[in-house]
Chain A
């Protein structure tokens, strides 16, 4: 069964460093999303992406964040200068354009900023 994959599973970085989190959505999906979950808190929407542009973004998704679909398979989230409070689990999701519009989530990348 097709699934969303994410790499790395765990990323440790120093404050101020740039990180890129990678996702491979399900191959025929066209809508892509990033969410984050700070330990012990709710899952929060960050951004949605369709047709090579951002379609929605939350207040959390400030200038430090960017997304890109550099090729036909990857979808990346870049954090330019990480802060301690960026430590969280980051989930990628994708959905197709027909049927139930169900979002399928990847296993997540745990980001730890020291």
Chain B
């Protein structure tokens, strides 16, 4: 059964720092991997999607990498801002349908 783990569970950094969020999954037979942002009590905003054949994707200050063989993905956030404070979720898609989520990393960026 596919398990998705995110480390750390919570992270607090001063504004301007670069940071890395980690995601690991137990079964490398994934279709794609998606990173989401969730603000408290709100829905999921898709940040980046990496297909299983890709190794990384970039959008603005965000860069996500995927190492399917080792079951790992990282989300790199450059020059963090207080507005980046949110919970970041990693999710792997199996067979193009069932999506399994990690528990998230709660990020706080202090001004």
Contacts and interface: CB of A to CB of B under 8 A. Distances in A.
A45 B101 CA distance: 8
B102 interface: yes
Contact of A102 (B49, B89, B102, B103): B49
Given A42-B103, A43-B44, A55 B51 contact: no
A58 interface: yes
B57 to A, nearest CB: 10
Nearest to A110: B41
* Interface secondary structure of A, over-half rule: strand
B69 interface: no
A90 B41 CA distance: 12
A103 B45 CA distance: 10
Interface of A: 31, 33, 35, 41-45, 48, 55-56, 58, 91, 100-108, 110
25 contacts: A31-B97, A33-B99, A35-B99, A41-B103, A42-B101, A42-B103, A43-B44, A43-B89, A43-B91, A44-B101, A45-B99, A45-B100, A48-B97, A56-B98, A100-B32, A101-B31, A102-B34, A102-B46, A103-B99, A105-B36, A105-B43, A105-B44, A106-B43, A108-B42, A110-B41
